[in-house]
Amino acid sequence: MRGPHNVWRLIRTGATLERTGAMGLVLDAFQAPPALRMIARILGWPFKWLGLKGDPNMPPATRALTALGPAYIKFGQILSTRPDMVGDELAVQLRVLQDKLPPFSTDVAKATVETELGAPVEILFSEFSEPVAAASIAQVHRARLRETGEEVAVKVLRPKIEKAFRKDIDAFYLAASVIEMFSPSSRRLHPTDVIKHFDGVVQGELDLRLEAAAAGEYAATTENDAGFVVPRTYFHKSSKSVMTLEWAEGIPFGDSELVEAAGHDRRALGERVLQLFLRQALNDGYFHADMHQGNLKVSAAGEIIAYDFGIMGRIDEYTRRVYAEILMGFIQKNYRRVAEVHFEAGYVPADRDIDEFAQALRAVGEPIFGMDATQISMGHLLAYLFEVTERFGMETRTELILLQRTMVVVEGVARSMHPQINIWQVARPVVEDYIKQNIGPRALLRDLVATAQVLGRFGPRLPNLMEQALAERTRAPVKESRSRIWPDIGLVGLGAGITLLIILVAQAI
C-alpha cells in the first residue's frame, strides 16, 4: 500500500489540524519559529476544507488526533505525559487519549468474544459490563467468570483496527522517505528505520496472544519488586482479539489529586515509578514500554498496578551496561567517561574528537544539576541534544528507541505525581547498585566463566571452523589431517579446566 497515493493522507493531516483549530496550539506548544509557522499556515489554510471534522465536543488537539486515526492517537498519548515539552494546556487535552476515547458497541465486543473464545458471553461470564475504558486499539469491559466468580477485565480489539493502523503507518513511511530525500542531514537519524521499528511494535500490539504472553513474563520478572503489581493473566480466556486479566482495583495514576486525597504519598509514588522502570530495564532487560498514566493505577495499599502490555521493551546485557555507564557518568558529572562510552559502543564515529564531544556533553549536563524539574525546559534540552548529535554524526540506534522513548514517558509520569522530582537524584541509587553488580571484577569473572562454558560446549568444532575460515580467506583447500592437529578431547579438557580455574578464583574473591 506504500506509494505516492499516501501524499493525500499527509495533506489531510495538515488540513485536519487546521480545521479543528489544533494547528496554532501545536505550533505554540513546540515553540515553532516564525518561518515554520508561516509555511504551516500557507500549506494548511488552502486545504482546510479537506480536513476531517472530528468530534466538535472534544478539545482541538484531541479532536484532530482521534479523527486522524490510531497511530496519531499513539503519538498523542506520549506527548500527554510531557507538559514541560508541549505545555500544560495541550498535555491536559491529550491526556484524554490515554483511556477515555469513544468506545465501540458492547454488542460488537460480545460478538468478538463469542467468535474468538468459541462460546456465548453468557456461558463464559456471569457479568459483562459496558466499556469502562477505551483507548486507541482496544477497550476494556469489567466481567465476572461464571465458573469461579472471579472478577476480571476483558480487553477486546477495536473492529478493523489492523486496516486503520496500516493506512496510517503507510503514510508515515512515505513521510520518512520524503524527509530522507530532501534533507540529507536527517539520514543519520534513519527515519525509515524508526518507522519500521514502530511498525513492528504496533503489529505485536495488535495480537493479544502476544500481549497475554508478555503479561505473564512481566509478572514473573517483577514478582519481587516491592510496591508493584502485575495482574494475573487468564490464558484460557484469551485469544488474538480478546485478553482476560485479573481485575485490578485502584485510582488512575493520572488523577493526582484523588491519589493525594486517598492519603497516598505523591512524592514517593513519583520516585518509585521512575526507579522501578530503571531497575527493570537495567536488571531484567525487560520493561513496560508504554508506561503512561492511562496504564497505571494506585491500589488502596499504595502499590503501583501496571496493565496494558502490548508494547514491551528488551535490551541485551551489553546495551544495559552501556546505558548504565552513560547515566552514571552524567550523575557523577564525569563527561569524559560518558564520551568514552559513546565511542566504545560505536555510537559516535571514531574519527570525531572525543574531548570536543565531552565538552559538548558538559554543556548539556551542567545546567540541569541542582535544579528541580520545574526549572528545566525539557524541550530546550532535547533541542540542544539534537544539535550535539548532529554535530558529531551520531546515528539513531533503533534498538534503543523504545528505551529512550519510555524514559521520557516515565519521567513525565513521575513529574505528574511530583513536579519537583530530580531524575538524576532518584536514578542514582538504582544505577549505582547496577554498576556494583554488573560492571567490575565480579562481572568480568562472570563473563569469563560464560566464555569458558561456550568453549567447553563448542570447542570440538573450533579447529574445523578455523581451518575453513582460513581456507576461504586464502582459497586453499582444507586438509582433513590438519583438522586433527588439536584433538577434540584436548580442547574439551582445556575448556573445562579454564572454567574450573575461573570459578575457583571467583569463589576466592
Where are the strands (E) in 358-500, listed by range?
none
Report, as ranges of residue numbers, the positions in the chain whose pLDDT lies below 70.
1-6, 29-33, 35-36, 39-44, 78-88, 96, 98-100, 178-179, 182-190, 194, 368-387, 389-390, 395-402, 440-444, 446-447, 450, 453-460, 462, 465, 473-509
Residues known to be catalytic: 290
Inter-residue contact 27 to 37 (CB < 8 Å): yes
Distances (CA, A) of 339 to 315, 326, 347, 388, 424: 21, 8, 10, 12, 18
Inter-residue contact 95 to 254 (CB < 8 Å): yes
Inter-residue contact 76 to 91 (CB < 8 Å): no
Q: In whole angstroms, what is the distance from residue 162 CA to residue 127 CA?
A: 29
pLDDT at 271: 93
pLDDT tens digits along 209-252:
999 999 999 999 999 999 999 999 999 999 999 999 999 999 99
Q: Please tell me whether residue 128 adopts helix, strand or coil conformation.
A: strand
Domain positions in the chain:
4-95, 250-438, 441-508
CA nearest 216: which of 244, 241, 242?
A: 244
pLDDT tens digits along 110-145:
999 999 999 999 999 999 999 998 877 889 999 999
pLDDT at 98: 62
All residues at 6 or more sequence positions from 188 whose CB lies less than 8 Å from its CB, including other chains: 390, 393, 394, 395, 396
Place of cell 518509585: 272
CA nearest 297: which of 327, 273, 277?
A: 273
pLDDT at 79: 67
Q: Please tell me whether residue 132 adopts helix, strand or coil conformation.
A: strand
Q: In whole angstroms, what is the distance from residue 439 CA to residue 434 CA?
A: 8
Q: pTM above the 0.85 mark?
A: no
Q: In whole angstroms, what is the distance from residue 354 CA to residue 336 CA?
A: 8
pLDDT at 154: 97
Inter-residue contact 152 to 246 (CB < 8 Å): yes
pLDDT at 488: 42
